[in-house]
């Protein structure tokens, strides 16, 4: 879960031209593996009944439950068989074009470092727990796998069209913080939610945030916050529908239409919204 904050301009010492580095699995300490295990144990208790079936299936198929930080080569081998995706290590945030290019080629970039034991609940840069536990299970789903590849190509195009911000909002409100309707109930699938114990509960159960039916144009106009729980979640009807909608729509005219329009402030309900839950915003407005 990221924004354009800590970006470097060229690959750091020791990284390849495409910004990838060795995972360095042998260098993880027992304490670092234990951080993974702690986070894993916490989430695995919360996710049944909250996470989407596609996510839970992926988690199972990839055998992330074996204990310790996963070895990217083993993970990639399983993933490759399922959907043709791989996981490659990067030193942290990489430039947008690099990020999109890897994605368009079915390579998911992941941080190789893990948060410290005093950062279990929150950190700003995507670590291996966020990237692998949060993102990779969805990549085992054939439909979502296609969506992310298409998103990578769309990202390269958005850069040319000057619409990075608009397309990034789509990523934020689907890949990072998306909800999906399943058998009539809401489920989480966004990586920022499924990798966070507090937000896994908040996103579904708390009266504070808005929960709004997904609308492409609306989402691409909506600001988001990167420093705390979301004030809006957007609900897709299904992954098939998300893929269909994004792949069949030519975004160029859409960008032309929305680029001149003002952004919709975080938490604002607008005309045309399918309001599933009108949030109280009590959490966002609390005194601190
Ligand atoms: C979607 C948007 O381009 C975003 O800021 C990118 C930039 N670089 C990144 N780099 C890494 N490693 N991980 C990410 O999620 C992103 N996100
Ligand atoms: N259809 C989009 C590309 C895209 C597909 C899927 C997700 C995001 C973007 C475009 O024309 O740019
Ligand atoms: Fe992420």
For residue 11, is it within any domain?
Answer: no
Report strand pairing: 210-213 vs 275-277. antiparallel
Determine the residue of 161, 169, 249 to mutate for testing ligand 2's pocket, defined as the one with the most ligand atoms within 8 A of the Cβ atom: 249
pLDDT of residue 3: 45
Report the predicted TM-score, pTM, of the whole model to 2 decimal places.
Answer: 0.95
pLDDT of residue 14: 85
Residue 35, domain extent: 25-287
pLDDT of residue 259: 98
For residue 8, is it within any domain?
Answer: no
For residue 96, is it within any domain?
Answer: yes
DSSP, residue by residue, 75-99 = HHHHHHHHHS-EEEEESS---HHHH
Determine the residue of 5, 87, 96 to mutate for testing ligand 1's pocket, defined as the one with the most ligand atoms within 8 A of the Cβ atom: 96
For residue 275, is it within any domain?
Answer: yes
For residue 3, is it within any domain?
Answer: no
Which distant-in-sequence residues (6+ apart) come within 8 Å of 131 by Cβ?
Answer: 87, 108, 109, 110, 111, 191
Q: What is the CATH number of the domain that holds 246?
A: 1.10.800.10
pLDDT of residue 9: 78
Q: For ligand 2, what atom is nearest to the CA of residue 158?
A: 12
Residue with the nearest Cα to atom 10 of ligand 1?
Answer: 93
Along the 288 residues of the chain, how does pLDDT read in single tens digits? 444 445 667 898 889 999 999 999 999 999 999 999 999 999 999 999 999 999 999 999 998 877 999 999 999 999 999 999 999 999 989 999 999 999 999 999 999 999 999 999 888 889 999 999 999 999 999 999 999 999 999 999 999 999 999 999 999 999 999 999 999 999 999 999 999 999 999 999 999 999 999 999 999 999 999 989 999 999 999 999 999 999 999 999 999 999 999 999 999 999 999 999 999 999 999 977
Rounded to the nearest whole angstrom, what is the distance from the C-alpha of residue 254 to the centroid of ligand 2?
A: 11
pLDDT of residue 288: 75
For residue 121, is it within any domain?
Answer: yes
Number of domains in the chain: 1
pLDDT of residue 122: 83
For residue 14, is it within any domain?
Answer: no
Six-digit token pair at 50?
Answer: 């909250």
For residue 143, is it within any domain?
Answer: yes
Q: For ligand 2, what atom is nearest to the CA of residue 250?
A: 11
Question: Which residues line ligand 2 at a C-beta cut-off of 6 Å?
Answer: 150-151, 154, 157, 246-247, 249-251
């Amino acid at each position: 879960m990221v924004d354009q904050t800590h970006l470097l301009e060229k690959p750091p010492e020791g990284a390849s031209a495409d910004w990838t580095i060795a995972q360095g699995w042998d260098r993880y300490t027992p304490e670092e593996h234990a951080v993974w295990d702690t986070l894993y144990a916490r989430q695995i208790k919360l996710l049944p009944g909250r996470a989407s079936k596609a996510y839970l299936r992926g988690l199972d198929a990839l055998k992330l439950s074996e204990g310790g930080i996963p070895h990217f080569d083993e993970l990639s081998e399983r993933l490759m068989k399922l959907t043709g995706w791989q996981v490659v290590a990067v030193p942290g945030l990489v430039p947008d074009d690099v990020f999109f290019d890897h994605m368009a080629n079915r390579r998911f970039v992941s941080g190789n470092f893990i948060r410290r034991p005093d950062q279990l609940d929150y950190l700003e840069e995507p670590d291996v727990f966020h990237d692998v536990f949060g993102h990779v299970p969805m990549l085992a789903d054939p439909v979502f796998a296609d969506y992310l590849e298409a998103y990578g190509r769309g990202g390269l195009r958005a850069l040319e069209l000057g619409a990075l911000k608009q397309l990034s909002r789509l990523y934020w409100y689907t890949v990072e913080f998306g909800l999906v309707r399943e058998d009539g109930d809401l489920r989480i699938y966004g990586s920022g939610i499924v990798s966070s114990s507090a937000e896994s509960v908040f996103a579904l159960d708390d009266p504070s945030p808005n929960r709004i039916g997904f609308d492409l144009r609306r989402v691409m106009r909506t600001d988001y916050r990167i420093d705390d729980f979301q004030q809006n979640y957007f609900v897709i009807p299904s992954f098939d529908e998300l893929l269909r909608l994004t792949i069949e729509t030519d975004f160029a005219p859409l960008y032309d239409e929305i680029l001149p329009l003002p952004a919709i402030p975080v938490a604002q309900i607008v005309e045309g919204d399918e309001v599933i839950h009108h949030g109280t915003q009590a959490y966002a407005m609390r005194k601190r």
